[in-house]
């Protein structure tokens, strides 16, 4: 399981990181304690905005596809 935490708990303004959970299953191939992703808050904000943009694009494409399907059935 993944979890997020501050890069430096004494200085939260430094950003956040994503880590593997300490309770690793024996079948888990990734056995590391170092963070998987480290980013400052500006990078996290850009990433979140990009994900939102991609989700919006996906929604538009799904709406267009459903309109096309309906118009093809008439």
d(CA 39, CA 4): 11
pLDDT for residue 13: 92
pLDDT < 50: residue spans in the chain: none
pTM beyond 0.85: the answer is no
d(CA 72, CA 74): 6
Domain ranges in the chain? Answer: 1-39, 41-74
């Amino acid at each position: 399981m993944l979890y997020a935490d501050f890069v430096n708990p004494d200085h939260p303004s430094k950003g956040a990181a994503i880590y593997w959970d300490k309770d690793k299953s024996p079948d888990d191939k990734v056995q590391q304690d170092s963070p998987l992703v480290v980013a400052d808050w500006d990078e996290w904000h850009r990433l979140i905005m990009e994900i939102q943009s991609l989700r919006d694009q996906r929604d538009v494409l799904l709406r267009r596809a459903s309109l096309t399907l309906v118009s093809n059935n008439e």
